[in-house]
Amino acid sequence: MQPSTQSDVITPGTPVDEIDREYVLSAEQIEFYRQNGYIHLKAVLSAGLLNRHRAEVVSKVQELSTETLPLAQRSTYGKAFLQVMNLWRSSEAVRTFVMGKRLARIASELVGCDGIRLYHDQALFKEPGGGITPWHADQYYWPLSNERTVTAWIPLTAVGLPMGPLSFCPGSQRIQEGRELAISDDSEQTLKQKLAAYGTVEEPFDLGDVSFHAGWTFHRAGANLSQSMREAFTIIYMDHEMRLAEPRNANQKTDRERWCPQVRVGEIVASELNPLLYIADGSR
């Protein structure tokens, strides 16, 4: 079991500037994250803020999603979710949310670095009847020089177990096997066997809960067995001194072109798409 937290609970109706207010992490929570590669934090954001953010994200997903095939005709990846990336570039309201220091500071303290940059954001909407999200590790896709990365998974509604919340394999960020696998039927079957000895943590999320997981932590999500859309928004953070690595697979080549424009191998990933979100001295 992970340590519970009610740290700095935000109540409904709090002004939108809560997105910059500090959420105090305990030493126990930081240690839990570093040992297990993930943490599920309670009451990180208020219902008021999330409801405002949800309305804008839903609108943008409807506007920008390019998926047209019926569920039955899609690949396993396509059945897993509707995916729309870098919404902060198309919405000032989403930009304000993504640039917030509250979540970025949590990311910085969990990872153990002095500052945090944005890698990118994405909406991940699992439709009613949508399939599983197979076991995978996010950092397989990222041409980054080290492991100081973390993803915030932010449900925009309460997510019960039938909706397919994110689930984690504790301690799997230290496993080397399986890091070469993209999300697929093969990754689900291969990693399901390899990770069985470590166990899986799957929990419902209340509105306001946020989880954080390391780039190499293996995770998955079940199918959406409910009649409602499972609406989640993610922000991927990296150490503000992260450098671009030589891409090691075709997906990393694509990510380099999409998320790190004009950055050369060995340089700090500080393009216009990778703004500084938080620095520990308080200057941001």
Q: Rounded to whole angstroms, how far apart are CA atoms 117 and 239?
A: 6
The tokens describing 178, both together, are 């399986």
> Could you tell me the residue ranges of all domains in the chain?
16-65+82-278
**Token representation of residue 161:** 């177990």
Strand stretches in the chain, DSSP E: 38-41, 82-85, 115-126, 133-136, 149-155, 166-168, 201-202, 210-214, 219-221, 230-239, 276-279
> pLDDT tens digits for 133-172?
999 999 999 999 999 999 999 999 999 999 999 999 999 9
53-63: pLDDT as tens digits: 999 999 999 99
Helices 101-111 and 27-36: crossing angle, nearest 10°? 70
At residue 3, the pLDDT reads 53
Q: What is the residue-averaged pLDDT of the chain?
A: 92
Nearest to 100 by CA among 44, 41, 42, 18: 18
Alpha carbons 151 and 165: distance in angstroms, whole number: 15
Enter the CATH code of domain 16-65+82-278.
Answer: 2.60.120.620
d(CA 115, CA 132): 34
For residue range 168-187, what is the model confidence (pLDDT) as tens digits? 999 999 999 999 999 999 99
14 — pLDDT class (breaks 50, 70, 90) = very low
**pTM value?**
0.92
Report the DSSP beta bridge partners of residue 232.
Answer: 124, 155
Please check the confidence at residue 88 and state whether its pLDDT lies above 50: yes
